[in-house]
Structure 1
């Protein structure tokens, strides 16, 4: 988003890019232990985040791709991309050469060798890179040349088809499409895109403002305007419908920051107001009709959340993360309870139960059950 359009959105897209990164400090990680007494050697912990040392304390990771329990990619400030293939025991710096001035906010990985990363910013700062060899080499496959565009998020339907979204240009969100795994991109026509509200934009807070489920369905989260909205397309971004979301609006710092869909009808939305001194009383919502209607959580997270993910193979459990903690729902988003107070910006889960979180000060963790 923009503060005078453009500096207010560092917690997200143009609206919060520069503010959030420097306003919230990491809290100490609080692991939950089992209530039943047991000798230390036999004690069992409840599910919790286990921190993994990355050696990148000066980097904030808002891009995250969980391939499985052993393999994950993270992307962040200073043009940094790291990859682990041993469960976070070691991390390899696979940053694209010459990218030190870029801010990576999203990464989509197909496996341990193939990944696509998005750098955000005005004009030519918005770029896409692809690697096919685990980050040993990268190819720049897109560079934005329109000064009015500001790209926020990526998503892929499969190994070939994907989309990227930009804040509104000429009054409508701009959609970029690829049909070859991110090797080439084209701007889609905007005739099927609803008009944007005044000040409306996406938040590049954790790579989850544009998400997909199945071969054609995709959702776009917005904020910064009078009403927070979720836009849905059932044809890979050609036509869209918009629905109001019960999240805070009316300010460049407020809106829906992240979405997660476990299928084409059941979804979760989280967000709020990213400013630490502001309350976020409606920080989560849920849908059971593909995003046509949204219901606020009966018991929402206690503060702003920037990332959300369904737990694998579950119809009711999900995690939401933000600078002040992690919340768990076990009833499909109706109620949430805080299970950790560490600072994370984004969360992602793989099908083998490999769930990862990443955030400021080089923090990366894996969910241990």
Structure 2
């Protein structure tokens, strides 16, 4: 290659990458409901569900442009921290706090059935995910030095506590901030923890055998740690920080290389509560400090929006990417 041509091509490639990054924007979709939204399930490019405070649940069937809201009757005080949807008719929601609740609908939210309830104040449900339409897990904060883990094998109709749940260190917990502190991806249960310890905990879905790896994210108090986790092929990313110091950019994203974590070279613009894979090496992360994008597998991040959100997810089938947060904020990532 011509020695003068090579630097020119490199400049063109960098410019193209920067242009691609700058092309990503978050479009806010105004809502009249002001619930705090933390639960999200994006099925395809048309259908998605969200869940939040004061018993609120909403569904879109047009890719996030319009939303049908409801307060689930009889559960107006429930805080629905996560939702798993299988279609525009069938979904499961979990409520944190006391009582700990799991509700299911099979008719698009017209009616809901209570499929699990526990009035023990120690039960605090953080996140839920499914390996397939039948097999799923709900994770909660530790009880007696074990993370609470509930399992279903019938699509969420019944739930039973798992005896071989992961161990928890004193003061370690998980964050019901985005429903992404526990994910099921590539046949593995992936858990991100915080508090006095920030760890990555994982196990095969079908044969529970837990591994524990420390992360370099902040850890020493209840507001610190890893809040969200996402994996694509060999790339695994955790994000978090300190929700009491949302503008602090130190140590809010890290990448796992199969043996240990390393901090991102260029951090997101502050605290992040959720992370999601988009395509290739592109990941999105969001939090109350804004939304950030990485096109190199989490090594470097660039802020693309300063609005406050709690969760970001991509369609399980399709390319739709939605964000949601406090005060009913809903956004769509535009490419």
TM-score normalised over the length of structure 1: 0.81
Distance 2:262 2:116 in 1: 37
Question: Aligned pair 1:328/2:293, yes or no?
Answer: yes
Partner in structure 1 of residue 318 of structure 2: 352
Question: Which of 152, 156, 173 lines up with 1:182 in the alignment?
Answer: 156
Alignment correspondent of 2:4: none
> Which structure has the larger Rg?
2
Match of 1:167 among 136, 141, 145: 141
Cross-structure match for 2:221: 251
Aligned length: 315
How has the CA–CA distance of structure 1 residues 277 and 82 changed in structure 2, closer, same or farther, with 3 Å as cutoff?
Answer: closer
Q: Distance in 1 between matches of 2:309 and 2:237?
A: 18
Do residues 50 (structure 1) and 27 (structure 2) align? yes
Residues of 2 paired with 1:135 and 1:68: CA distance?
A: 18
8 A contact 1:175–1:237 mirrored in 2: no
Partners in 1 of 2:193 and 2:206 — Cα distance? 18
Q: CA deviation at 1:144?
A: 1.9
Q: How far 1:277 sits from its partner (Å)?
A: 6.3
Structure (1 or 2) with the greater helix fraction: 2
Higher strand share: 2
- Post-superposition CA distance 1:111-152 (Å, at most 9, x none): 222111111114x1x111111111111111111243322111
Is residue 200 of structure 2 the alignment partner of residue 261 of structure 1?
A: no
CA contact (8 A) 2:131 2:205 kept: no
Does structure 2 conserve the Cα–Cα contact (< 8 Å) formed by 1:287 and 1:293? yes
1:78-117 alignment runs, 5 A limit? 78-117=54-93
Mapped pair 1:130 → 2:104: yes
Q: Which residue of structure 1 aligns with residue 193 of structure 2?
A: 222
**Aligned residue for 2:113?**
139
What root-mean-square deviation, in Å, do the aligned CA atoms of Structure 1 and Structure 2 show? 1.8
Is 1:305 aligned with 2:272? yes
CA contact 2:50–2:58 (8 Å) conserved in 1: yes
Q: Which runs of 5+ in 1 are unaligned?
A: 1-34, 37-44
CA distance in 2, matches of 1:243, 1:308: 19
Divergent runs of 4+, >6 A: none
Give unmatched runs, 5+ long, in structure 2.
Answer: 1-17
Question: How far is 1:97 from its partner?
Answer: 1.5
Give 1:294's match in structure 2, choosing from 261, 274, 277: 261
Describe the shift of the 1:107–1:152 C-alpha distance in structure 2 as closer, same or farther (beyond 3 A): same
Residue 285 of structure 2 aligns to a residue whose secondary structure is strand
* TM-score of the aligned structures, taking structure 2 as reference length: 0.89
- Distance in 2, matches of 1:236 and 1:212, equals 11
Identify the residue that residue 150 of structure 1 maps to in structure 2.
124
Asked if 1:271 corresponds to 2:240, the answer is yes
Which residue pairs with 2:329 in the alignment? Answer: 363
In 1: Cα distance, 2:178 partner to 2:56 partner:
15
